[in-house]
Amino acid sequence: MPGQLVLASASPRRKELLEKVGFSVKPMPSTVDEERQLAEPAETFVKRMARTKVLTVVERIQQTLYPDGETARLGARLTREAPLRWVLGADTVVVLGDEILGKPVDHEDAAQMLLRLQGTEHFVLTGFCLYDMRKNKEGIQAVTTQVRFKPMTRVEVEKYLSVGESMDKAGSYAIQGVGGYIIDSLVGSYTNVVGLPLCQVVEMMVEMGGSDILPF
């Protein structure tokens, strides 16, 4: 049986994606300041957020194992006493032109996002970070998917918002839900738009020697 993969996220969608392909996932959400720095490029931002989430969780695990601060034998102790070796974190944003669209703050904010996206192309960026606690080694990558919305009126936007799946989604839509019908076309990773580019994540796991968590 594969070892557990610690997911530094509260996202049920990322957990579901990983479990669907067979991973044993242990959610350990990380609360960090997700404020974008002045003029910070979207790719830099999502990579920084993913890495910050992961390192926060790694520190929490280390403090649990070594409350006195002793970390010299951490690798050996992780091997003997805990199956927690790998930590994965991610951050997803929608980019329209030069602007990053995150999660809406309220109903009107969500409506305005969808009205701006309708009939146009935008990009979904997910940065992810994989950390090997045994080797203190990390891998970071960002994946981009191009998405085009169908044209939508305000009435259609309101009907979609009434479904109730928009408020916790970057860009105010869920491609894996009812929002799938408003996607006219897509170029790139579908799971990246859901919240985690599975193909690239697994490739990184293989490159970093993560055979103990691979489900196949």
Where in the sequence numbering do the catalytic residues fall? Answer: 91
- The number of C-alpha atoms within 13 Å of 197 and in the hemisphere containing its C-beta is 23
Task: Kindly state the tokens that stand for 82.
Answer: 């805990």
Task: Kindly state the tokens that stand for 30.
Answer: 């990380």
Give the number of residues written for the chain: 216
Cα of 51 vs its chain's centroid, Å:
11
Distance CA 167, CA 171 (A): 9
For residue 88, give the nearest of 216, 215, 197 by alpha carbon: 197
Contact assessment for residue 85 and residue 77, using Cβ atoms and an 8 Å cutoff: no
